[in-house]
A and B are shown apart, each in its own frame.
Chain A
């Protein structure tokens, strides 16, 4: 199934080279868990905020077709 990976702030350096927006589509196995997909990303997870469709995922949450998995660094400020 297809989901979107969205990377914000300086995580945009981890976007694929041909990606012109903040997100890209990717294929994951059906019933993939959030943790499974995160493990394959080159992002320092311990310093990251992870969201699925804008909300904090539950531990072990299973992804669904069309979900947006968003990561950005824990920074703060505004």
Chain B
């Protein structure tokens, strides 16, 4: 096979046995790779109703056919499993250098099954596979674990691991690689913890075989050249500011989450922007493997209370640990980000859960004696203390670590949880970007911007601007973006570059270049049509996993605030999400019945069981 290695590594943690399996070429082509292959294995092998933290759940690390190729940003992997936060699917995504190194071991996927009796880590050095004891790193932070495991394996090895939050089965625990890059969402870290799997360490030296290497290199070089020209022309927003350039933009359109999504307008937007970050804390930009963009931030905060050094914050972190909590102190936000990385927490879910607790505290719904301190909007020191307690599951942090839905339900008011399928919203108030509302409600992984970020067109004008406040055109847009994000994920690429350079800059966003790159890499017969069909196939199989797990139309919904409380101010003033009007049309376009279930006709069209 080309593009793909064509081999998966299966690791049974209960028995300590590992095995290598060949991949069926037809399955490889039809499900693309990465997230697509992962759901194919999970759907075929696992009962979707299992307890996510039981040995019966399976955990898949998945690279794609363009991971570790010369295609720029071919540096992603996906963590796919049943989520302990949502009970639905997790498809969490990370870049950096671990994914490339993993693909170069000669395996496309690692599938973890069962549960180890004692803490272990997996060490894969090309073909040599070992399950090693991890008692000495259990209880250690992400940063300590990474350093210790590289020292005892290979200094060139790459590490993905969990921190105390994952060990303690926090439903908002992340998996970190290179200390600061996170497959963050849906509690994937807790699934690793439940298997007593502390870390995965990889060292790979194999080159990925390519079907048409010259053609692939030529197109990849052309894309890199276009990015470089944009940078040279002074258009390097993501390199200059990171995604932290976004708060003033979303604030301008009135969708920057503020005070637990009570409003989308935040007076402190400029104080938490990329410009402030550059003036005060940025050391240098940082790129993932093979990336000409370099949106990563290496930062240092010199401050008696919030001092530290690390990476971040990203926009999503600023919106959740910052404005959603009413915090305009960028030092506090950055410090909270460092702690999330160190202890292994998802910054989005942590921030939005703290925001939920702040609102409920201020309304008198959570007694101060439960928290152990006041917890008011705007208190950056409280945010920092809450993430620390959540990462260790100590005191009130034990409730924060379970996410906003469980926390709010514990006090009898789940309506204050800004979540869909129990997963916290990313940093776009959907009342002012209706596509995001439909996306959050219908996503197979709960609320997420990574599931099909229509804010690209609604807010950022990429590749074309559409009106964020209209709902009539959004069912089609959401379906299409879900399918093309599935393709990008499954291929092993980063959305930032792909949307702007590998699709056509039209309202139809045709997958012209990405389908050519897929064909040059694999030689499997991809064109635009077959690739789009494959994306749709993967998305539908994921949906069928949810159906078998017990999800239905009732779960494709949003908190009452988004449906019934009009945005109080700003450009989106007076707006709610017209979900009832969008959902039937979305199901119809998907080929799903009125309960959100793929019809037999749609399944037959896609070749699904």
B56 vs chain A, min Cβ distance (A):
36
Best-buried of B237, B315, B463, B495 by chain A (most CB within 10 Å): B237
Total interface residues on B, using CB and 8 Å? 47
Partner of A56, one of B237, B465, B500: B465
Q: Which residues of A contact B500 (CB under 8 A)?
A: 75-76
Q: Are A78 and B246 in contact (CB under 8 A)?
A: yes
Q: Give CA–CA (A74, B499) in the complex, Å.
A: 12
Q: Are A9 and B237 in contact (CB under 8 A)?
A: yes
A4 vs chain B, min Cβ distance (A):
12
Say yes or no for B253: interface residue by CB 8 A criterion. Answer: yes
Q: Are B235 and A47 in contact (CB under 8 A)?
A: yes
Interface string of A49-77 (1 = CB under 8 A from B): 10101111000000000000010111111
Number of A-B contacts (CB under 8 A): 89
Q: Which residues of B contact A54 (CB under 8 A)?
A: 252-254, 570-572
Q: Please report which residues of chain B, range 219-267, place their CB below 8 angstroms from some CB of chain A when the two chains form the complex.
A: 234-238, 240-241, 243, 245-246, 248-250, 252-254
Q: Are B234 and A10 in contact (CB under 8 A)?
A: yes
Q: Give CA–CA (A46, B316) in the complex, Å.
A: 27
Q: Are B253 and A75 in contact (CB under 8 A)?
A: no
Q: Which residues of A contact B246 (CB under 8 A)?
A: 77-78
Range class of the A interface residue count: 20 to 34
Q: Which residues of A contact B426 (CB under 8 A)?
A: 78
B223 vs chain A, min Cβ distance (A):
16
Q: Which of B369-377, B410-418, B454-462 contacts A (4 or more CB under 8 A)?
A: B454-462
Q: Which residues of B contact A56 (CB under 8 A)?
A: 465, 467-468
Please list 26 pairs of residues, one from A and one from B, whose beta carbons are closer than 8 Å in the complex, sorted by A's number.
Answer: A6-B252, A8-B252, A9-B237, A9-B249, A9-B274, A10-B234, A10-B237, A10-B241, A22-B270, A47-B235, A49-B459, A53-B571, A54-B254, A54-B572, A55-B253, A55-B469, A72-B249, A75-B245, A76-B455, A76-B499, A77-B243, A78-B246, A78-B315, A78-B316, A78-B427, A78-B449
Question: Which residues of A line the B interface, CB within 8 A?
Answer: 6, 8-10, 12-13, 21-22, 47-49, 51, 53-56, 70, 72-78
Question: Which residues of B line the A interface, CB within 8 A?
Answer: 234-238, 240-241, 243, 245-246, 248-250, 252-254, 270, 274-275, 295, 314-316, 319, 426-428, 449, 453, 455-456, 459-463, 465, 467-469, 495-496, 499-500, 570-572
